A and B are shown apart, each in its own frame.
Chain A
């Protein structure tokens, strides 16, 4: 369910104390979150949610509006604050019947990798994760996740659920150059590539490939079409999206480990749209009682007018399987998924399709 015209009361009308609710807000939504939390607390309504650059409903996406999704009974909502210092012992133990988890995290936090490690250490591969980075496209860090406990930045919400989820994870970006060695990096900033200035190498590659000159001021408009890909054997690279440069280094959404081998990727709309369809197919082939799409905001920015085609490719899969469920999701700052059965990763420029099953 999506509400475009939002107020606290209109939201509250659709929430009940008996259920637990996931609220996904577009960043231009004018809803007063603290007031909502206060009202919910007063009415005994359980909520959890995040603010994203956009929300998806059907084949449309909005920067305002609220997606309201009802969580299964017995879901557990855990707020994780102060990501810098938390460790695996701060996380709740998963019940034997827990099978999946939705994770909403401040997409501009510097501690995403460590947080995901803690999740993986705590829950192994017993859970399948789907989630994304909250925040504003302005890339200014501000409160973006909330529960009944409050409205926070540099925090995460972990929702443990008994329902199973099938995941489809794809991005569709193609290698145009590489491999390169990130010989100097720190956190999410790449300082040197192949022992030279990261920006210099990046600019040369882009110019050589497409005869496009990239400069510091107009960096994002060009870079959104040429992300990095961290090599993974037998799978799609993990995409890292360079978004800012100081003329020497490149800052990405998500960590780029030191000495990692990267490729420079290129986006072709058709490939991306096809990738989204493949992700939906992987997730929904066994049907679903609910679907949640975590689609990277940069994909919509890159695809621009063609972005509805990506959503359409997913919707078509839903339709193909005659699933009576709405396509809902968010445009995120980074995506979370346990890729296949393996290690929990933080992706960029990727689409994650989660197909939830209420029963075995």
Chain B
């Protein structure tokens, strides 16, 4: 009874031993150690099956006391035969292929289910390792195998748990690392759940919106940041698409804690948990507020610039580095005649530059490409341009180069200065007229002071002479009295003519000169009123007639005055040779030549010859008012005629008057 209790006690001790340890090697060690101690054996080991091949079954050592090799192998056939019908095998030699360190003695093997075998050894006492002496240990051995298997499973589990913990730590570490990365990137990151509730935001995002993380966690992102219901609806659409697994990127305004409006480009993607379930979405936010402002500003500036260009009175033309037109404003359309659609992309050289200048233009462009400078750039120049219709016209041009990506383009402002140039001519003319008027005034003053004073002085002298005779009661001889009378009469005539001419000039200016043209036999009129009047002069007027005379409608009085003035001048300003009067009847007009061989007119003064009160500088003491030729010129114009002259100082002057045959 006592032995039974002792056996049971030992079995209990061993069975408890197998339960107390989760480490299989530790379990094996405690089991073997106790077994050796209690059974007084020399050796014990537990071998675990490692693998099997066609020939061998390989074992790994779980524990041995004393220690032996770490692995052994046994022929598969031997192993199978060893445990036929029994879990025990008692033998006087080791089961394994390798020489056993225990050497000669008695071995007992017990098959520990499918996990391995228990090996016990006694050197001298066969009975100690008999099957009989261990028969009652079967259940404990079975329990050992279960325990070892459990311990291995537990150990594997622990290892797995450790690995998982390590993986989790690694994951957490990675997560921390990614959090750090996420927090350090300059892009805002926002995590929301499927209800748009904020789960996480990185520091840049918090900075972007002005909130701390604690302030926004758990709040609805759309309600917190979005401005309009419209934006929230857009956001809902994006969220909906993310639930379908789609990513999207969009631009959207949002408000900060301080109420400031910012713009962001948001790249959103669905967020999944470890099991692949969608748990929300992650949005990366790029602050584009400044860019947006710049774009708006640029758009505004561009719009402003475009408006300026549109309404500019100057043509705006841009060409690229190849000379192709890239900008063409409405004023350019107006000036050059090409529509924008028509000319965009075409060569500037072949369109608005006159053929004569194209070569120079192309060479200038090439020179700029090579050397980076051009003589006509960045300054205002006047050149000739070509309209679509082929008309060349003057433009004022400013060209400035613009460098972009190492390529130059050119923009030019062009202004049609045709009218400007004309107005300049007119202004010049007006100025000249004003100058002439001033000259005329000076000449008038000069003339009047001379032409009025001279006869008046003469008449005054005559009157003083007469009064002297009367006061002294002297009798003025008749011859002398007649002479004084004639002189006074001549002076009065002279004054009358002068006044008459001045009045006539005034009438001409106010177009109040009576003009009554009538069909006239020109030859007859000339003979009667001119040629015959000069017969008695010291020099004969040479009269010549060519062509077939015809009647013309002229104002006889004015016509006569024209020729008389010119012939009279011919006599006045020539001394020796006879003046010439020639009538050339052409089929459609009459050409009259009045020539003298006198003092001539200085070339410089010739342009002023028909100005009122003008007198050439070389007239000397020859009387004259300076109104004759002016009046002549005006009378000729009334007859739709023209007057010109050829003159050379000291050689003479020839006036050419042309009258149309038929007066309009």
Contacts and interface: CB of A to CB of B under 8 A. Distances in A.
A315 to B, nearest CB: 29
B37 A232 contact: yes
A179 B6 CA distance: 7
Interface string A10-43: 0000000000000000000000000000000000
B322 interface: no
A339 interface: yes
A122 to B, nearest CB: 7
Contacts of A261: 6, 9-10, 12-13
Interface string A248-280: 000000000111110000000000000000000
Given A124-B43, A181-B12, A343-B41, A231 B124 contact: no
B16 interface: yes
A258 B37 CA distance: 14
Contacts of B13: 181, 259-261
Contact of A343 (B12, B16, B17, B37): B37
A341 interface: yes
A233 B13 CA distance: 13
B12 A233 contact: no
A233 B101 CA distance: 25
Contact of A231 (B38, B43, B101, B125): B38
Given A88-B67, A259-B20, A343-B36, A125 B5 contact: no
B40 A339 contact: yes
Given A260-B13, A261-B13, A342 B66 contact: no
Contacts of B312: none
Contact of A232 (B5, B12, B40, B65): B40
Given A121-B66, A259-B20, A345 B6 contact: no
A121 B67 contact: yes
B42 A125 contact: yes
Contact of A257 (B6, B34, B102, B123): B34
A256 B10 CA distance: 14
A231 B65 contact: no
Contact of B65 (A117, A259, A340): A117
Contact of B10 (A117, A231, A341, A342): A231
A235 B40 contact: yes
Nearest to A260: B13
B367 interface: no
B281 interface: no
Interface residues of A, number: 28
A234 interface: yes
Interface string B42-72: 1100000000000000000000011100000
B66 A122 contact: yes
A125 B104 CA distance: 12
A120 interface: yes
A124 B66 contact: yes
Nearest to A257: B34
Specify which of A88, A122, A342, A345 lies most central, judged by the most chain B CB atoms within 10 Å of its CB: A342
Contacts of A342: 36, 39-42
A232 B67 contact: no
A309 B67 CA distance: 43
Given A120-B66, A179-B5, A233 B10 contact: yes
Nearest to B44: A343
A92 to B, nearest CB: 16
A231 B6 contact: yes
B653 interface: no
Specify which of A121, A122, A231, A261 lies most central, judged by the most chain B CB atoms within 10 Å of its CB: A261
B33 interface: yes
Contact of B40 (A120, A124, A259, A343): A343
Contacts of A339: 40
A124 B12 CA distance: 28
Given A88-B67, A181-B12, A343-B36, A259 B41 contact: no
A192 to B, nearest CB: 13
Interface in B1-20: 5-7, 9-10, 12-13, 16-17, 20
Contacts of B38: 231-233
A341 B124 contact: yes
Interface in A101-123: 117, 120-123
B21 to A, nearest CB: 10
Contacts of B36: 342-343
A354 B195 CA distance: 87
14 contacts: A117-B33, A120-B65, A124-B42, A125-B42, A179-B9, A181-B12, A181-B13, A230-B37, A232-B39, A233-B38, A259-B12, A259-B16, A341-B124, A343-B42
Given A121-B65, A121-B67, A259-B12, 12 more contacts: A179-B9, A181-B12, A230-B37, A231-B10, A231-B38, A233-B40, A257-B34, A259-B13, A259-B17, A339-B40, A341-B122, A343-B40
Interface of A: 88, 117, 120-125, 179, 181, 230-235, 238, 257-261, 339-343, 345
Q: Which 6 A-B pairs have the closest CB atoms?
A: A261-B9, A342-B40, A259-B16, A179-B9, A121-B66, A343-B36
